[in-house]
Structure formats: C-alpha cells, structure tokens
A and B are shown apart, each in its own frame.
Chain A
C-alpha cells in the first residue's frame, strides 16, 4: 500500500515510517502544509496520515482539497487536540478516523488496516491469514472453515494481533487497545494473560500456533 505521512515533527514522522515499513507499505512523507498539499495534488495514496497542526497550515485544509478533488485515499487524522468538536470537524470533513496523540504505533497500524478494509470492500471484508479467515462484517473468525467461538475481546485481540503481525505487543499496549483509559486502574495485567491464553487455546486446538511469548511479558503473532 502507498501511504503519505504528513507530520511536521520529524522524529514522530520517521518513527511512524519505520513502524509501517515493516508491513511492506510504501511510505512517503510531507513535513509541512505546502509539501503535503503538493503531494496530495500530484499523487494518489491509499492512506494519508494527517497531522492537523502543520507548521505552515492546517491539515484540515489538505483534507478539504482532497475531498474536493474526489480522491479516494483513506484519511486518518492525528492530532494533539482531543476535543469532541475537533474530532467531529475532522470526521465531518471526510476523515476516516481520528487518533489523539500520544498513541501506540500498534494502535495506528490497527486503525490503518480497518480503514483500508472499509475503503476497499465497502465494510464487508474478509481477512485471510493462512488457515485463519476473519469476516469483519459478521465479526466472526474461522479456522479451516470451522467457526471459532470467540468472545468479543478475544476477537478484537486476534484482529489486533493480525494487524501487527511480527511485532512485539506488550501487555500494556494490549490492555490499552482493548479497554482504553480504564486499563490504568489495573495493578497488574495478569488478566490479559487469561484472555490471551483462552485465544491461544482455541487456536492451537486447531493447530494454529501463532501467538508467541516475547521477553516474558510481551506477545508476538508470527508464523513458524
């Protein structure tokens, strides 16, 4: 997939690029408003990651031009501003998702995949990973044609793993993804282990041993 990351903080821009390149995406960057406008006008992207506060202008203006030119790119806004009005303004202008800084790159990656799915298949997409097939519309996962009886959290967890396959996910990141802010109430993340173990059992019973433990307290979804 071809992506544009319009972010004026170069450190953040480069980190995003580094993370996403591991999924074999083609990543281009824009470091200010003019560069972003120019690139959006000249080229087509599958996904544009757009910072609202660009040095020389607003990311929302880039979004407006994009929509005016009827470009099909999926747009994810990243902003330091998390007020509901800003969020709504961005989404009303046609952005596909909105994510507030600071965020985990795993979260961004997961959102990118969701946007890509919706953009391509009109919300009715099947994700296939070897013998695993996930119907995202029906929110059901199958292994070799057999339905896996997953709870809501186990399903979300599986999707999160597949969106970040090959990468280490710490318990903290997983907890934050699944439970958001409430996860900071927890003294320890042992219960994540319970959820992961359940998912793992349901998968390995069908021979799918993809969830590996990394560094004792992290997890990784990889092919053998």
Chain B
C-alpha cells in the first residue's frame, strides 16, 4: 500500500509543482532570451558607434579617442575582429566595471586603424535581472492567488463528495437512521449519491430479510419441536418399552433440548440486532455474580471463586447482563474440569473471568464468531460467546481474550468509549 494523500492536498500539490516548474522554466527562457537580446543590442550599439567613428575618420582624418569608450590607433597590419568582455576601472564609481569591447581593423584613406569601441554592460545586466525577478514575482503572486482560489473552489466543489464519504463511513447495518446524503449539481456526484442510496437500501433490505428469515426459521421450528417433545413424553408413558429404547428416547430428548437452546440463542442474537433490548438500568454485577455462583453451586459446580469483589455497576438491560455473565461463566465451566478453579474478578470497571487451560487456543481470533467451536464439544451451540460479543458491541464495552500462565482469561472493560 502506498501512502494515502488527501484529494485536495494532492490537487494542490500538482498545482504547486506545476507552478514551481513554470516559474523556473520561464525564468530560464526569459533570462537566456533577454540576455541574447541585450547582447545583440550592445553589439549593435558598438557597431553603430564604430561605423560613426569610421565615418568621422574618413571625413575629417582626425583620430577620435575617448578612452575607455572609444579608442582609435593607427597600426601597421590588419588584425582579426574581436568582440569580448573586459573589465575596466571606472573612476566615477571607484570600482572595476564590466565592459563589452569591439575591436576592428579598418583601412581608411590608405591608413590602417584599429578602432576599439567599449560599452558598459552593467545597465543591461540590471535590465536582465529586473525583468527576470519581476517575472518570478508576478508568477509567484499569480500562482498563490490561483492556488488560494483553486483550493477553496475545489473544497466547495468536492464538498458533496466528502460529506457523502463521511456518511458512508458512519453507515451501519444495524442502525435504522437514514443516510443524510448531499446532492450536487455535478452530474457524477449526483450519480454517485444515487448509486450509494440504491446500494445501501439494497444492503439494508437484504440484511433485514436475512434477519427476518433467521427469526422466522427459529420460530417455525418451535412447533414441530413441541410436537416431537410431546409425542416422546407420551411414548415413555404409554408403551411398553425396554431400557435400551428408553435410553434412545431420552437421548432424542437431549437433542431436542439442544435445538431448543440453539433456537433461543439465535432469537436472542436477532433481537439484539433488532435493538429490542431498550430497558437500560443500573445493574450490580457484584450481586449478579453472587447469584450466579449460588445457582451454579446447586448444579454441583463448586469450583467458582469470586476472588476480588469490588462493586461494579453497569447501565444496561438486566436480561442481557444476566446472559452476559451466564454465558461467560458457563463457557469457563464447559472448558474446565470440576476441580479446577474458575476465578471471577471485578475491579474498577473490569470483569475478569479466568479458567485453567493446558494450551492456548489455536484460533483466538475466531473465538467470538457464530458457530465457531475450538473443540468438538457436542454440548456447545457455538453461540454463547458470539452473544457475549454482540452484547459488548451493543453497549460499546471492550472484550478481550488472552492466554497467560496456563489460563484462559476473558476480560470486559465496561468503560464506554467516549464518542
């Protein structure tokens, strides 16, 4: 995965990079072009002066010399024409200045002259800098303004997109609140909005019908189960059956009991999904745990130890609180032997239940999934912990599982997330 960058930032970045590139490129072009132009200009000036000097020589035969600007010397032989830069002391400014120098040889009236014309380059260089710098300044200013308008405009333009994206992030199947999608005069955004609406509606209705289906199925199973149950009860009492048949029939009853449990748990899960538990009250976990321990003791589970009994109260549906504790404790009971201690601790905002285990779970990440069973325990419906997780999710409690020092440890943090 590459690093993700915000859309507006990315657009701005492109814009700014283009800007910087254009400033540099245009400055170079402008610099080179103006410099050549100015050089040509100076050369032209030099040549024109040289022409005038030569003209004056021809006409008057007088040697004009005004060093360092104009120098005329009579020489013996013709030489090559040279154009070059030179540095000459300027007494007015008391510093060395750059001059452009043109030396040519001319034969005028039978004599050979070397005419040297010089012109100061400084001014043309100043022009050059002035032009390039103002170009850069104009460019930067223009770009900053454009950047500002572009960014604000972009933000405005993309607002429906960002708002709808935000809504999508908050979309939850279980919540019935409709999505507050923003319409836009931009065709694509408007289309996107419509598609999202269609899609979310479809997902929701599919989810609803799936939930309804689950509920209906488990509901419809109750009656046939009741019939089987009733018939079995009568068979045991009416007919002459032998011991073996009785065992088989009671084993069928156990299976019915399992189906009954399964149904009940699926219904509970669906009801939590449907937000049917709305009675929130203050539940004392301490009292609830004490009660549970008492009732489990009647079932000969005397290995429950309530170690640290700090008072913990939680605001939630009391029926769900009961299921929560019951499922966690029965899970611990199911996976430990009668003699092994099951430790229950309430502390601060925490509930911790731990039981001995020989080895860590192979797939702790699947622990809270529906119908996931770590071992092939036929008594388990595989829904107990899924319900625990669902209840925690409903109220924003944090549940975690660890395996430490030969113990399976489940802990729930009842501190609700501040949203």
Chain A: residues with CB nearer than 8 A to chain B? Answer: 9, 11-12, 15-16, 18-19, 22, 78, 80-84, 100-106, 153, 167-168, 170-173, 176, 179, 181-187, 191, 214-218
Contact = CB atoms under 8 A, between A and B. Distances in A.
21 contacts: A11-B227, A18-B238, A80-B219, A82-B267, A101-B222, A102-B225, A105-B230, A168-B237, A170-B250, A172-B250, A172-B257, A179-B299, A181-B264, A182-B326, A182-B330, A184-B258, A214-B246, A215-B241, A217-B250, A218-B246, A218-B250
Nearest to B251: A172
Contacts of A106: 233
Contact of A185 (B223, B271, B379): B379
Contact of A15 (B231, B260, B299, B319): B231
Identify the interface centre among B226, B236, B246: most chain A CB within 10 Å of its CB.
Answer: B226
B80 interface: no
A101 B237 contact: no
B234 interface: yes
B233 A215 contact: no
A22 B330 contact: no
Given A102-B229, A170-B253, A186-B299, A22 B222 contact: no
B226 A153 contact: no
Given A22-B237, A106-B233, A215-B246, A184 B261 contact: yes
Interface in B281-304: 295-296, 298-301
Nearest to A166: B237
Nearest to B277: A84
A16 B276 CA distance: 33
Contacts, number: 117
B261 A19 contact: no
B333 interface: yes
Interface in B197-232: 219-220, 222-223, 225-231
Contacts of B296: 182
Given A104-B233, A179-B298, A215-B242, 9 more contacts: A12-B226, A83-B267, A83-B271, A170-B253, A172-B253, A176-B257, A184-B261, A187-B379, A191-B299
Query: A-B pairs with the 10 shortest C-beta distances?
Result: A15-B230, A80-B222, A215-B246, A101-B226, A102-B226, A102-B225, A105-B233, A102-B229, A101-B222, A170-B250
A26 B179 CA distance: 60
B95 interface: no
B230 A153 contact: no
B214 to A, nearest CB: 15
A160 to B, nearest CB: 14
Contacts of B257: 172, 176, 184
Given A182-B330, A183-B299, A168 B234 contact: no
B330 to A, nearest CB: 5
Contacts of A186: 299
A66 to B, nearest CB: 23
B325 to A, nearest CB: 12
A179 B295 CA distance: 8
A102 B222 contact: yes
Nearest to A173: B253
A179 B297 CA distance: 11
A101 B225 contact: yes
Contacts of A168: 236-237, 246
B299 A105 contact: no
B237 A12 contact: no
A139 B257 CA distance: 29
A102 B256 contact: yes
Contact of B230 (A19, A181, A182, A187): A19
